Amino acid sequence: MEKSYLKTLELEKILNRAAQLAVCPEARTLLLEQDAFETVEEVRYALSQTDAINSLLLKNGSPRFGGVQGVDKVVNRALKGGILSMAELLEVAGALRNFQNLVSWYHITKHDMLPVDDLFYALTPQPTLEKNISSAILSPEEMADTASNTLFEIRRKIRAMENSIRDKLDAIIKNSTTNKFLQDAVVSLRNGRFVVPVKAEYRGEVGGVIHDVSSSGSTVFVEPTAVVEANAKIMQLRSQEKSEIERILAAFTDQVASIEPVFNFSYQAMLNIDVLLAKARLALEQQAYMPQVADGMWFDLKKARHPLIDKDKVVPVDVALGKEYDTLVITGPNTGGKTVTLKTAGLLCAMAQHGLLIPAHEQSTVCVFSEYLVDIGDEQSIEQSLSTFSGHMKKITGILDNAYKNTLVLLDELGAGTDPAEGAALAVSIIEQLRIQGALIMATTHYSEMKVFALETPGVMNASCEFDVESLRPTYKLSVGVPGKSNAFLISEKLGVPPRVIQRAQTHLTNDDKRLDSVLAQLDDLKLQLKASQDEVEKAKAEAEHKLESARKKYDALVKQGETELEAARLKARQMAQQVQDEAYRLTDELRKLQKDEKTSAAQRAARAREIARKETEGLYGKTDVVHNVVKEFVPLKQVKVGQEVVIADIEQTATVMSLPDRNGLVEVRAGILKTKVPLSNLKAPDKLKKPANNGKPKPQPRSTTVQRVQRKASMEINLLGMTVEEALMETDQFIDHAVMNGQTMVYLIHGKGTGALRKAIHAHLRGHRNVKSFRLGQYGEGEAGVTVVELK
């Protein structure tokens, strides 16, 4: 496929934005170099993968995923015998941590088989190796004392020896005999040895080895004789330390080399997942959905939006091609949206072929093209020179040479830049030839001859971009089936051109022109009438569907309520039966005791028995109150915003607003991976956003008990920055409880470094927490001292 369409349709900008959302540099390169998929099966599979990751992002949040680069080459170097540095081993540990975090993220929620299963199953975490490397290597330049017992012992000896040397040098500095020879009362290091600064004129007064001289020559740095042997021992220990570090690095390198086959396989899967995550994040940013992919050569885009136009300004368009007609001729005034419509259709189809979800209604359909042949100028001007016409014709020649079946041809201002009569004739002829070659065609024009051609030719359809003559502004709405009018006379009159000039201009129109204008006007009227009728039908249909859905929900709710109450009654009956049995045994024991009581008369025993029976009977009847469900009242939202979190009142389901209310008052929402339309009057704010009523006084609660389940999106981390200790501990408890209920085994608490007060309070709290197995500070690449990693029971 020829790639000039990437720039002409501005797909380059879309792909570059997606690449910015990838984490790993190699994934960005992989995304930008990815060619368009060329078969229906490939496109469907690619779109389904992006959509699956998009759904996981919505349910699980974003995974903890650090950027790594070239780690596969590091592992290959280890396989060839090279010793890896501490920095390289930390990169390997970072990649292994990514494998583990991605697998954990994937399993946060239960789901059926997904088209990305093979990528996540290809990830093979090595938790032991990752933990050992992260524990042993603190930074690219520092290895932990605990990396090995030998290293720990060597460093212990070094510290002890250094302390001994410092004590001896401190004694020299404090000695009244020698301190007068010193430049300063300090101990410093020169060439790895501890020295004292001696005035140059007294260099012979302090015995030892001179290791350095100050730039001015006034100070010599002397290693006193008393510490020469100890310094030499330290140098020997430093050499042993270096050898031990090299041994540890070699051992880690061997372990890394042993996992090379599975590591490289996992690493490539990680990069592919990163690419899909970038595409899914772009879809969320653009409010995009997965379209259907047609088997044949046709597409039908509903409410399509150009992704590079401001969301608040873009006007969605419905545009279709290939099913009922193979050619669409778009006419209308300048700046009316003709070119944007052309680009939107081509761009969205091309995006889908690159595995990107498209900013259009989910019922949209795209098809797979083998070529995108485009002639759209970068600039539109009123005066076009011969050179512009020549440039267009050169492009047209190339399009005619390469257009065939499965090709989409987009032509902007076809035939412009030359004599109108000749240009119109050329435009008609070019369209006819492209249709013979089997291409699908969209073209914009101002020529009336093209409008007539479209009216008279089967398979060719007129369309127009509407223009508001009152405000003199385009509406950017596409009307299919009706050719557009230039409205030159009406616009000129609105702009103040004298009426006599306009009347004289109208006399110069030919009869054919007048008849065409009359026909177009009649078509416009018919179109408006038809649209009004369709709107009424759609409104009635939407109301009927809404009533049916509402009735179905109420029926389901009643059935569920009945089942719940029946089960509650059965449970109550079982409990009462057990109670009656227990009470019967107890009463029997009471009566036996009364009978054995010789001091009580028979009448007294009978009265006592009747009293016991009466009280127990009343107690049992008092426990048989019927429990009724409490139907909560709510205040419906008056308006919503796209992206706002709401609750569907009659089913208490949290959802996200995907579009503003339509003319029927229906709002499209997404609950999990399900999307539906509900009335605005059935939406309420989540409980956490409601303001307290009654001036803060508690509202009386009904006697019956209602249990509410609050669904919280599973996440692996919580940000506690800026909170007080009390707030942070409360949020931490709630977060850990939800994590345990979601089956998570590890979470991250982000508290920052600061003074450490918040961290200490959290650690003290975690030590006694019932659900905490262990915790530690973040390691290199995890946020270090600003993050606490908690392992849950």
- Cα angle 677, 679, 684; round to 5: 105
User: Is 549 found in the same domain as 430?
Assistant: no
Closest CA to 411 of 399, 419, 401: 399
| pLDDT(344) > 80 | yes
Q: Average pLDDT over the chain, rounded to whole?
A: 82
Give yes or no for residue 419 having a pLDDT over 90. Answer: no
The answer to whether residue 168 is domain-embedded is yes
| Most confident segment among 361-370, 587-596, 710-719, 747-756 | 361-370
336 is an annotated ligand-binding site residue: yes
- Highest-pLDDT range among 47-56, 334-343, 511-520, 524-533: 47-56
Across the range 349-374, mean pLDDT stands at 96
pLDDT band at 73 (very low <50, low <70, confident <90, very high): very high
Q: Give the C-alpha distances (Å, rounded to integers) separating 470 from 146, 476, 518, 775.
A: 80, 15, 20, 69
Establish whether 332 is an annotated binding residue. Answer: yes
* pLDDT over threshold 50, residue 354: yes
CA–CA separation, 446 and 449 (whole Å): 9
| pLDDT computed for residue 439 by the predictor | 96
Chain segment 434-443, per-residue pLDDT in tens: 999 999 999 9
Pairing of β 772-777 and β 787-792: antiparallel
Question: Has residue 145 been placed in a domain?
Answer: no
Asked if residue 471 has pLDDT above 50, the reply is yes
| pLDDT of amino acid 656 | 86
Q: Residue 610 pLDDT > 60, yes or no?
A: no
338 is in an annotated binding site: yes
In angstroms, the CA 230 to CA 165 distance is 7
Region 587-606 average pLDDT:
59
**Percent of the chain topping pLDDT 70:** 81
Taking Cα atoms as reference points, which of 121, 107, 119 lies closest to residue 60? Answer: 107
Any binding-site annotation on 665? no
Is residue 204 predicted with pLDDT exceeding 80? no
The number of domains in the chain is 6
For residue 146, say whether it is annotated as part of any ligand binding site: no
- Asked whether residue 571 falls in the same domain as residue 646, the answer is no
Residues 6+ apart with CB under 8 A from 745: 104, 791, 792
Pull the structure tokens for residue 712: 């919280």
The CATH number given to whatever domain includes residue 723 is: 3.30.1370.110
CATH number of the domain to which 301 belongs: 3.40.50.300
Name the residue with higher pLDDT: 483 or 46: 46
pLDDT for residue 470 is more than 70: no
Look at residue 690 and give its three-state secondary structure: coil
According to the model, what pLDDT value does residue 390 have?
A: 79
> For tokens 């974003």, what's the residue?
62
**The pLDDT of residue 245 is above 90:** yes
Q: How far apart are CA 223 and CA 205, in angstroms?
A: 13
Q: Is the pLDDT of residue 515 over 60?
A: no
Query: 366 φ, ψ to 5°?
Result: -115, 170
Task: Look up the domain containing 320 and give its range.
Answer: 292-489
The conformation of residue 34, written as its DSSP 8-state character, comes to: P
Query: Between these two residues, 760 and 231, which has the higher pLDDT value?
Result: 760
The pLDDT assigned to 578 comes to: 74
Least confident of 158-172, 460-474, 508-522, 604-618: 604-618
pLDDT tens for each residue of 268-287 = 999 999 999 999 999 999 99
**Residue 516, domain member (yes or no):** no
Cβ neighbours for 299, distance < 8 A, ≥ 6 positions apart: 320, 321, 322, 345, 349, 364, 365, 366, 367
C-alpha–C-alpha distance, residues 755 and 764, integer Å? 16
Q: What is the average per-residue pLDDT within 444-467?
A: 86
Q: Return the pLDDT at 479.
A: 82
Q: Answer yes or no: do 306 and 419 share one domain.
A: yes
User: What is the separation of C-alpha 473 from the centre of its chain, rounded to a whole number of angstroms?
Assistant: 37
- Which runs of E-coded beta strand occur in 560-706? 645-648, 653-657, 666-671, 674-679, 683-684
Cα 54 to Cα 672: distance, rounded to the nearest angstrom: 11
Tell whether 613 and 652 lie within a shared domain: no
606 within a domain of the structure (yes/no): yes
Residue 77's pLDDT band (boundaries 50, 70, 90)?
Answer: very high
Reduced to 3 states (helix: H, G, I; strand: E, B; else coil), residue 408 is strand
Do 231 and 371 reside in the same domain of the chain? Answer: no
Look at residue 141 in the predicted model and tell me its pLDDT: 92
Mean pLDDT over 774-782 rounds to 81
Q: Is the pLDDT of residue 673 over 50?
A: no
**Residue 135 covered by a domain:** no
Indicate whether 654 and 741 sit together in one domain. no
Tell me if 372 sits within 8 A of 5, measured CB to CB.
yes
Domain assignment of residue 131, yes or no: no
The predicted-structure confidence for 539-580, as pLDDT tens digits, reads as follows 888 888 888 888 888 888 888 888 888 888 778 777 776 776
- For residue 723, the SS3 value is coil
Q: What is the rounded distance in angstroms from the CA atom of residue 222 to the CA atom of residue 206?
A: 8
Say if residue 376 is in the same domain as residue 414.
Answer: yes
Per-residue model confidence (pLDDT) at position 208: 74
Rounded distance between C-alpha atoms, residue 476 and residue 463, angstroms: 12
Same domain, 649 and 784: no
309 and 271, same domain (yes or no): no
Q: How confident is the model at residue 373 (pLDDT cuts 50, 70, 90)?
A: very high
335 is in an annotated binding site: yes
Give the range among 304-308, 377-381, 760-764 with minimum mean pLDDT: 377-381
Q: Is the pLDDT of residue 56 over 60?
A: yes
Confidence of residue 299 (pLDDT cuts 50, 70, 90): very high
> What is the mean pLDDT of the segment spanning 658-674?
80
Same domain, 406 and 352: yes
Higher pLDDT residue, 55 or 413?
55
259 to each of 85, 96, 131, 252, 560, how far by Cα in Å? 17, 11, 15, 11, 54
The C-alpha angle 643, 644, 645, rounded to 5 degrees, equals 120
Asked if residues 461 and 325 have their Cβ atoms less than 8 Å apart, the reply is yes
CA–CA distances in Å: residue 397 to residues 167, 281, 390: 91, 40, 10
Q: What is the model's pLDDT at position 492?
A: 73
Q: Are residues 317 and 418 in the same domain?
A: yes
Residue 336 has pLDDT above 70, yes or no: no
Mean pLDDT of 642-659: 83
Summarize the confidence of residues 72-93 as an average pLDDT: 94
pLDDT at site 435: 95
- Give the pLDDT score at 706: 33
Q: What is the pLDDT of residue 688?
A: 59
Last residue of a domain, one of 567, 600, 622: 622
Per-residue pLDDT band at 629 (split at 50, 70, 90): very low
pLDDT of residue 542: 84
**Chain segment 193-203, per-residue pLDDT in tens:** 888 888 877 67
Tell me: pLDDT of 67 over 80. yes
> With 50 as the cut, is the pLDDT of residue 430 above it?
yes
Nearest to residue 358, comparing CAs of 289, 407, 411?
289
Residue 149 lies in a domain: no
Instruction: Determine the pLDDT at residue 616.
Output: 56
Q: How far apart are CA 68 and CA 25, in angstroms?
A: 8
* HEC string for 84-103: CCHHHHHHHHHHHHHHHHHH
Q: Is the pLDDT of residue 374 over 90?
A: yes
Q: Has residue 511 been placed in a domain?
A: no
Distance of CA 608 to the CA centre of its chain: 74
Q: Is the pLDDT of residue 664 over 90?
A: no
Task: Note whether 86 and 166 are same-domain residues.
Answer: no
What is the predicted pLDDT for the residue at 631?
41
Cβ density class 489-523: b for 16+ within 10 Å, e for less: beeeeeeeeeeeeeeeeeeeeeeeeeebbeebeeb
pLDDT for 109:
86
Is the pLDDT at 622 greater than 60? The verdict is no
Q: What integer pLDDT is reported at residue 93 of this predicted model?
A: 96
Domain containing residue 674: CATH number: 2.30.30.140
